[in-house]
Structure 1
Amino acid sequence: MPAVDFEDYRPLLLGLAYRMLGSMWDAEDVVQEAWLRWQGTDQSEIREPRAFLVTVVSRLALDQLRSARVKREAYTGPWLPEPVLTTEAGPLDTAELRDTVSYATLHMMERLSPPERAVFVLREAFELPYDEIAEIVGSSVANARQMHHRASARVAEGRDKFRPSSEDHVRLLVTFMEAAAGGDLGALTELFHEDVVAWNDGGGKVRAALRPIAGRDKVARFLAGLAARYDFTGARLVDVNGAPAIWTRVGRMNQLVVIDIRDGLIKGIYGMLNPDKLARVQPE
């Protein structure tokens, strides 16, 4: 059997671990641990290196996710996934790979139990058969099917069946940021879905709303209030998690703004202010 280069699999493994953990820092730790285990294994005995490495990374990520949930429950304010540049998100060859790395989907996956999240990612993004998934998560095949069904239903809640084009996404995002920077309540309200929710992640490092803000009027007033207190400057488009986002400064703070679109309107607004989570998406 020809020698297998672990580096050939690293992008795929990072993409898998990131989808399961919502943190590229943690994903890199998991993949590095997988590399150490790979080095300590008699590789000539491994018939399917990809399957072996996917199993190792999945189980390590599952263990990491279980411990991470405790930390996230004690997090200051809402915990949002760490955004990554689309070019660093691993292979995005299929619609399923792109969908499962989208920011809104990663956020929705926080609702799932660790085994449900693992099953969802392995089935949706990597199309593993249920018998392999069951072995990885330590369940029966029937239970793996049930977990996938439950997870799919929960992640699908409130999601738009039709993705806007990149051009439409950019247009709505730019219009939104212009209205927000100008504190234009009327213009903001027209852009929002009636069930719009805004999340802000400062992680206790910078000032940010400690609870999600829900409802068209409340979100518009919240943003107008920010515009009255701070200057929005240096707006730049960046491609994050497979979709356009805006990098901007709010007063002295850096912020990445990601939106989720439903029925042509903004359904979710994700404001990342925690500097620890912005390192990978800062424009050059």
Structure 2
Amino acid sequence: MTEPVVLPNFESFGDQALKGLESPEEATAATQALLKEDRNAGEPVIDDPGQNHITLERGICREGAWYREAEVRELTGADEEAIAAAGSSSYKVFETLLLRGVRTVGHEFMDRKLASELLIGDREFLVMAIRRATFGNDLEFEQLPCPDCGELVDLTVPLDAIPFTHLPDPEQTEYDVPLRRGAAATVRLPTGADQAAVLAIKDGNGAKQDSEVLGRCVLRVRQADGSVTKRPAATSLSMSDRKTILKFLTDTQPGPRYADFTFVHDTCGKEVTLPISLAVLFRGM
């Protein structure tokens, strides 16, 4: 009998967070645990790849015009070798997927500079589209243990069932966030370049990583008396205001909410959380 899949406790690449992607030991262990079931089960069944053209939430701006259309392609054996060469870093694997699997955004071919400009949510949506083009729309799970009743569950999850956050106005690039004491911060949403800067901080200091995000994404702070500070030092912001801004950046970032997927187990009637990670999307590779 096949051993049940045990989902590891590690940070999903799709939780819109900017932390926790550069622990090689945890990433390797987590990936191996998730891939064990597929190694035992044999080759994946590839469905109809469907459409390879998607519309991003924000896209890129060139000379005042916004371009949101993107094209992805099915991954090949050469791409698989390149992804394997990226090693155990989830971020490097993610970047390799983008560079290999995305043909164009707007009229531009994908490269590192273009990838760094995209919102984090657009990048994650592109990876979802690459997965769909390569393996089809469905994620198949076998022998998942229900955390409430313990029964083993077989489950098919369409990618379309993963919660998705949209931007009310895709062309809005600045947002006002109310703070304490009548103040307000004007911010922009984090991009791939911001994510890379955060991950360059290797000491595991989460507060320092938060400061990096805030220092890059907070454009100005307006006090109740009307005075404005441009690019305030992140360390000068109160802890409460820092948390408020970071929550706004996370909640407003568009794209798939991989960590928020749930399903109702018919046997016990309980809602079960099933985070979708990079290892889950591309298991079997």
Classify the TM-score, shorter chain: under 0.3
Identify, as 1 or 2, the structure richer in helix. Answer: 1
Q: What TM-score do you get using the length of structure 1 for normalisation?
A: 0.27
TM-score (norm 2): 0.27
- Larger RCO (CA within 8 A; separation ≥ 6): 2
Larger strand proportion of the pair? 2
